[in-house]
Structure 1
């Protein structure tokens, strides 16, 4: 009985083994054979409107790349990386010195407001305190360590709409009562 089972098992292995070898064999296949050339993507300089940040998609039956399927800010970031530009500038702020009123730590912003996290000087000397800077009030001082941050606006200069919200005023703080010459 034992010999019958082992003989059958050996016969099965022998019949299956050549099929396995053939199925794993490689063959040269041209990638994207019969597919027209890939679409040309716009560069960062060619992007003028939000419609330029919508990807072309991919033809049915193909797996899209990140560049083909991304839209909006993600597409802007990927296009920037292909050109070697860090669009969102995610480097940490300068923590090698303490910002002063004469020499503040500069924070770049393309929007109306920017938040910056201060960890103190020397670095990590206190918990993170988030400071809010706006175009109207670009300078902020950390209440814990006294380091000064200043927002440098790098966005479009003329955006054709009112910067002030109708009827909304920024809440009063103690900074509103400080003499301007102390800023």
Structure 2
């Protein structure tokens, strides 16, 4: 064991540089401080990248950040694009864009009265931790527009996707793969 540590030390010494600088420049020295004594204002940008409030977002180009002024470090608002930018702008206006509240865990979902999960896309992934909450490990269920109801294989909790996205959205989701549920007699299906 002792000889192994000597060999390791020798290998490290063999590849270590012979020249070591007297003082290394700290990473923080390369960052220009923002806010020292001057007032920083938002850059004047036109077209894509303009900072618009959440209520004025109409097209994809509105979700491109303007970036930072040369020589400065960008903030999250300046550099975020796409869905991340939409989420930040929504939070600034007090809107939870992605509805990140947990699902109703006060009861067990049934086929007649399932737990509702709102979804904007073709598929929605929901994690079931059982009833009562945290009674089993997280089981991930895939809900889709073509198959909106799923039952947790661990506890039997039933969750249904309620599509709340745009009505004119085309359904370009791939066809669901066959599962054992597809071979159950039709009179036993749930709708």
Q: TM-score, normalization: structure 1?
A: 0.72
For the residues of structure 2 that align with 1:77 and 1:55, how far apart are their CA atoms?
13
Give unmatched runs, 5+ long, in structure 2.
Answer: 1-35
Match of 2:181 in 1: 175
For the residues of structure 1 that align with 2:185 and 2:133, how far apart are their CA atoms?
28
Match of 2:172 in 1: 163
Listed as ranges, the matches of 1:111-130 within 5 Å are 111-130=121-140
For the residues of structure 1 that align with 2:42 and 2:95, how far apart are their CA atoms?
29
* Offset of residue 115 of structure 1: 1.2
Q: Higher Cα Rg: structure 1 or 2? A: 1
* Offset of residue 179 of structure 1: 2.7
For the residues of structure 2 that align with 1:99 and 1:115, how far apart are their CA atoms?
16
Q: TM-score, normalization: structure 2?
A: 0.69
* Offset of residue 36 of structure 1: 7.7
Match of 2:148 in 1: 138
* Offset of residue 112 of structure 1: 0.4
Distance 1:48 1:178, change over 3 A: farther
Match of 1:31 among 10, 26, 39: 39
For the residues of structure 2 that align with 1:152 and 1:162, how far apart are their CA atoms?
15
Match of 1:19 in 2: none
For the residues of structure 2 that align with 1:36 and 1:157, how far apart are their CA atoms?
37
Match of 1:44 in 2: 54
1:45-65 superposed Cα distances (whole Å, 9 cap, x missing partner): 321222111011222233322
Aligned residues: 150
